[in-house]
């Protein structure tokens, strides 16, 4: 009997076809949380992205069944209660390498959009306006970029930013041995990063202690700072950010992720100094093919 794979949030079509060629039965279907746990009992593998949350309740319903492996097609695994799953004998894995460049490129795109009003200027043109004098921007060349979270995505963004003439510093709670020599980017403490950076880009997983970008940390930043978040929506206190945008403390923000998705925070996403996208960091053709290929490889090796 063929091993069964459930794909809940979509996956590269070529990768699904490869799994079928390899002898797996692949079912693509999204389940609401109340239905997911029971459904998982009928599968050996479940592949999720951001939309599906696999929490303890679903794991409890699935434990003791044929479910052996949960794969997150992406970098983080905070939408899965992974420690609980592994305690119940269910392996949890992700695809950390596949989407790093795509997310880093989107962060850079938001930086440029914030600096030059690309989002709002394009919007007003589509409204028939020609507000040339309203959008005097800033240059990123020569500015300091502070990267919070210096894993694969943060490192990729750092390389891009250095290539565009920016000074780059980084903070991470884990100091990777030799990373400063490897990248030419210096680690600093958080308060130093907040004080020195003209642009701040967040690439950390969701943290238990609350938002990284909160009112207290915003107060430590330069006046006119630009904040970018392509990591997790809960890493930014949206109310504090909106207040800082309105006061001018924060010049602009580029946001791909939101505390609630789909976001209902119209005051934030419609702000003229906000460049916004609906959680599309990994949504490139190339990244999705790489994610799919990595998932196929993970499944193949796991059941070898």
Per-residue pLDDT of 186-222, as tens digits, reads 999 999 999 999 999 999 988 877 899 999 999 999 9
Phi, psi for residue 251 in degrees, rounded to 5: -70, -45
What is the spatial distance between Cα 91 and Cα 88, in angstroms, rounded to a whole number? Answer: 9
Rounded to whole angstroms, the Cα distance separating 88 from 63 reads 6
SS3 255: strand
pLDDT of residue 48: 98
First to last CA, the chain: 15
Rg (CA), the chain: 21
Number of residues written out for the chain: 304
Give the pTM: 0.91
Which residues pair with residue 124 across a beta bridge? Answer: none
- Active-site positions read 232, 261, 279
Q: CA 253 to CA 268: how far, in whole Å?
A: 9
DSSP3 helix / strand / coil % (the chain, rounded to 5): 40, 20, 40
Backbone angles phi, psi at 97, to 5 degrees: -90, -25
Which residues are paired to 282 by β-bridges?
Answer: none
C-alpha–C-alpha distance, residues 274 and 25, integer Å: 44
Q: Are 30 and 53 in contact (CB under 8 A)?
A: no
- What pLDDT is attached to residue 135? 96
Per-residue pLDDT of the chain (304 residues; tens, 9 = 90+): 799 999 999 999 999 999 999 999 999 999 999 999 999 999 999 999 989 999 999 999 998 899 999 999 998 898 999 999 999 999 999 998 899 999 999 999 999 999 999 999 999 999 999 999 999 999 999 999 999 999 999 999 999 999 999 999 999 999 888 999 999 999 999 999 999 999 999 999 888 778 999 999 999 999 999 999 999 999 999 999 999 999 999 999 999 999 999 999 999 999 999 999 999 999 999 999 999 999 999 999 999 9
C-alpha span between 56 and 33 (Å, rounded) = 11
Contacting residues for 11 by C-beta, under 8 A, at least 6 apart: 28, 47, 73, 288, 291, 292, 295
Contact call for residues 276 and 119 (beta carbons, < 8 A): yes
Shortest CA distance to 198 belongs to which of 243, 235, 167, 158?
A: 167
Asked if 167 and 117 count as a contact pair (C-beta separation under 8 A), the reply is no
List residues bridging with 45 in a β-sheet: 5, 69
Q: How far is 256 from 253, CA to CA, in rounded Å?
A: 10
């Amino acid at each position: 009997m063929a091993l069964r794979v459930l794909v809940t949030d979509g996956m590269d079509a070529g990768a699904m076809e490869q799994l079928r060629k390899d002898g797996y039965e692949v079912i693509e279907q999204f389940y609401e949380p109340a239905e997911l746990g029971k459904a998982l009992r009928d599968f050996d593998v479940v592949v999720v992205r951001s939309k599906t949350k696999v929490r303890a309740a679903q794991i409890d319903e699935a434990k003791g069944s044929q479910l052996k492996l949960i794969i997150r097609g992406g970098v983080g695994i905070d939408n899965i209660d992974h420690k609980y799953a592994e305690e119940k004998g269910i392996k949890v894995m992700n695809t950390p390498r596949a989407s790093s460049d795509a997310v880093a490129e989107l962060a850079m795109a938001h930086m440029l959009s914030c600096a030059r009003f690309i989002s709002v200027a394009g919007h007003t043109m589509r409204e028939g306006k020609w507000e040339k004098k309203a959008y005097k921007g800033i240059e990123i060349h020569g500015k300091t970029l502070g990267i919070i979270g210096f894993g694969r995505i943060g490192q990729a963004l750092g390389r891009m930013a250095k290539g565009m003439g920016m000074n780059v510093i980084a903070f991470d709670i884990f100091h990777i041995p030799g990373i400063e020599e490897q990248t030419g980017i210096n680690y600093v403490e958080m308060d130093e990063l907040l004080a020195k950076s003209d642009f701040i880009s967040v690439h950390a997983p969701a943290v238990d202690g609350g938002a990284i970008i909160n009112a207290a940390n915003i107060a430590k930043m330069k006046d006119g700072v630009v904040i970018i978040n392509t990591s997790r929506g809960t890493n930014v206190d949206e109310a504090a950010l909106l207040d800082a945008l309105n006061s001018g403390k924060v010049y602009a923000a580029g946001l791909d992720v939101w505390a609630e998705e789909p976001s209902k925070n119209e005051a934030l996403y419609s702000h003229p100094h906000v460049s916004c996208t609906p959680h599309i960091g990994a949504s490139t053709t190339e990244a999705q093919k790489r994610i799919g290929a990595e998932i196929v490889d993970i499944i193949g090796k796991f059941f070898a």
